[in-house]
Amino acid sequence: MNRQTLSRWCLLVALFLTAGGAFAADAVTKARQYLESQREGALAAIAAAEASIAALESDIRVVRGLEADAQRRGDTEVLTVTRSALQENRIALQKQQQNLERARALLAARQQSLLKLPKDDDKGVRAYYVAMAGKVDRIGADGLVTADDGPLRPGEGIRTGSDGVARFFLADGSETYLGSNSLFGISTDDDGSFSGVLEKGYAMIRASVRRFSKKFEVRTGSGTAAVRGTEFSIEESAGSGRLRVYEGTVSMTPITGDVAVDVTAGQALEWSEGKFGKPLPFDMNAFAAPWNSANAP
């Protein structure tokens, strides 16, 4: 893959590692737990939207009564106030109706994904992926493209379209999020090591590792990030990028084969056109870890 290919695409990947030991939970169990939590969140959102809609509809009925009364009395001042209130309530009602539609769509999608899961959690499944939204394809090692949720095997990858979002789970507890216009491949070695390959664009990774004795790395067009610590984020676009470490250590090796650069907690490393700078301190409060953000995937 060359840097010109990288410059044409944009990828959002978020990776979350919680490994208390190798293969602490199988991939299907992790997928089931996540989908069930999403389903519960959707049910809560539906209940909240329905309650808001009922309250707004009640308010609208009351204001309409006040409007009719003011109209009979010819009270233009009250008419102005009631019509303004009606407009505000109608806008709020429309917003809550949209929220209800989105929550119901989310619930239907997550229920469908749960139905696709194996009936019995399969301890042999090392990776399992779920299409979260839009166009998502799994590309097999033989090049065959499929669209359904299912196991993700070594040598296979996930490709998302312009509206696509996907998430896959590893048997060691890892979770990876893929954003639009992305292509990310995996290979899991027999000894439990993990290597992810970013085929396109921009990547952001999050991790929280308590204990991980095996190799874990993510390769991009500019270099390889080897995880030897806990929490970090990484991004790359068109041959330039940045690594921020929040806890532990990440070793970044340039694609040129130069000596690896160790980046420790509180440090950031930037690079451009294959040339790496020096690790420098950054303000972790100003650049909060993305997985602690309300906007995290």
How far is CA 212 from each of CA 22, 34, 168, 209, 282, rounded to the nearest angstrom? 7, 22, 19, 7, 26
Assign 48 a pLDDT band (cuts: 50, 70, 90): very high
If one compares 29 and 14, the residue with the highest pLDDT of the two is: 29
pLDDT at 86: 95
- The pLDDT tens digits of the residues spanning 266-288 come to 999 998 877 888 999 998 888 76
- Of 283, 241, 279, the closest CA to residue 262 belongs to 279
Q: For residue 160, what are the β-bridge partners?
A: 136
* Spatial separation of the C-alpha atoms in residues 43 and 142, rounded to whole Å: 40
Query: What is the arrangement of strands in the sheet containing 150-151, beginning at the earlier edge strand?
Result: 13-16, 175-178, 165-170, 127-133, 150-151
pLDDT at 13: 36
Q: For residue 216, what are the β-bridge partners?
A: 194
* Spatial separation of the C-alpha atoms in residues 273 and 254, rounded to whole Å: 10
- The pLDDT tens digits of the residues spanning 191-212 come to 556 677 767 655 555 554 444 4
19's tokens: 């490994």
Domain 3-26+122-292 is found in CATH 3.40.50.300:
no
Assign 251 a pLDDT band (cuts: 50, 70, 90): confident
Q: For residue 60, what are the β-bridge partners?
A: none
The pTM of the full predicted model, rounded to 2 decimals, is 0.72
Q: Which of 114-118, 224-228, 244-248, 264-268 is predicted with the least confidence, judged by mean pLDDT? A: 224-228
In Å, how far from its chain's centre is CA 200?
16
Q: Where are the domains of the chain?
A: 3-26+122-292, 38-116
User: Can you list the alpha helix ranges (DSSP code H) found in the chain?
Assistant: 3-7, 27-73, 76-116
Specify whether the CB–CB gap between 86 and 64 falls below 8 A.
yes
Q: Which of 3-17, 30-44, 50-64, 121-135 is predicted with the least confidence, judged by mean pLDDT? A: 3-17
* Spatial separation of the C-alpha atoms in residues 145 and 75, rounded to whole Å: 67
Assign 68 a pLDDT band (cuts: 50, 70, 90): very high
